[in-house]
Amino acid sequence: MPSDPLAAQHVLEFPGGYTRSTGPVVGRFLSELRAGRIVGTRTAEGRVLVPPLEYDPATGEPVTGEYVEVGPAGTVTTWSWVHEPLDGHPLDRPFAWALIKLDGADTALVHAVCPEHIKAMKTGMRVWPVWRDQPTGHITDIAHFVPEVTQIVSPVRAEYRLQAGGALRVFLEGIERGVFLGGRCDHCAKVYVPYRAACPECGNAIPDTLELPDTGTITTFAINNLPDPRAPEVPFVSAYILLDGADIPIIALTGDVPAHEVRQGMRVKAVWVPESERTASMANIRWFAPTGEPDVELS
Ligand SMILES: [Zn+2]
């Protein structure tokens, strides 16, 4: 009559730790680790084994006794992701067990690699060790490896003064008076705003300015969620506005309308700062606000 085999769960554990001697080669490796260095042993054939061994696994010959410092950086040769770390794992968040070939070594070492995300893990990726604060002469003196630094975030600030050329000066003087000045090319009949002295398409000179109204139509726009000192509120909309009579849109803020109500084809009009505050600058236009006219069908 079949019966269940007898079985019992056993745990083999040395709660206080199991003390064993390291032997000279591993002892040297761990002592070097405690000092923040990673060493391997050189074989008779000149290969560098990391972690070091007393015998060359390929030939069975004793190693030469020469210790070679390697790394500390290395290259991941293969890896396996641990989604849920277990007790006793080196990290309490997801990480990869990886074979890492340290620079100067001919064999790879198993260690944990902890990138920001599994997507950052790649065979061939460069990694550097993160050392534990209190080294004890144990493989865990290297807490884990992290990806090589390939990007930095640095603050950027540029202050500059733009010298307006002749045509732009003419345009800004118009803005100071509360007028948009454009120009019509005699050759292709396109109307450009801001005014420019030559047609960018046919190179034809545009000697005269043309006053354009401060009303127009939104052709396209972007909703911005980062504050801007010029913007009425967050989120705000920056839009391409085709002034009536122009063939090229200008870019400007919109205001006096919630961002989510801005739409393509919406009719708008410039909101100017009071005349007493005007200078030869685009800051004279606070933003463009809806006129309330029906939307325009955009072709
Ligand atoms: Zn032209």
Q: What angle do CA 299, 294, 224 make, to 5 degrees?
A: 75
C-alpha 57 – ligand 1 centre gap (Å): 79
Q: What is the pTM of this model?
A: 0.49
Name the token pair of 228.
């801007």
C-alpha 267 – ligand 1 centre gap (Å): 27
Report residues of the chain scoring pLDDT below 50: none
Please tell me whether residue 88 adopts helix, strand or coil conformation.
coil
Rg (CA), the chain: 36
- CA 257, distance to chain mean position in Å, is 33
pLDDT for 287: 95
CA gap 253, 266 in Å, rounded: 13
C-alpha 213 – ligand 1 centre gap (Å): 21
pLDDT for 184: 95
pLDDT for 105: 92
pLDDT for 148: 86
Please tell me whether residue 221 adopts helix, strand or coil conformation.
strand
C-alpha 167 – ligand 1 centre gap (Å): 16
C-alpha 210 – ligand 1 centre gap (Å): 15
pLDDT for 161: 74
C-alpha 201 – ligand 1 centre gap (Å): 5
Give backbone dihedrals phi and psi of 242, rounded to 5 degrees, phi first. Answer: -90, 105
pLDDT for 116: 81
- Within 10 Å of residue 45's Cβ, how many Cβ atoms? 12
C-alpha 59 – ligand 1 centre gap (Å): 81
C-alpha 206 – ligand 1 centre gap (Å): 9
C-alpha 216 – ligand 1 centre gap (Å): 22
- CA-wise closest residue to 288 among 250, 241, 254: 254
Type and span of the H or E element at 225? none
CA gap 281, 171 in Å, rounded: 9
Strand-pairing partners, residue 70, are 38
C-alpha 198 – ligand 1 centre gap (Å): 8
CA gap 203, 206 in Å, rounded: 9
- CA-wise closest residue to 113 among 104, 135, 122, 105: 122
C-alpha 121 – ligand 1 centre gap (Å): 54
CA gap 259, 253 in Å, rounded: 11
Give backbone dihedrals phi and psi of 25, rounded to 5 degrees, phi first. Answer: -75, -50
CA gap 147, 151 in Å, rounded: 11
pLDDT for 266: 97
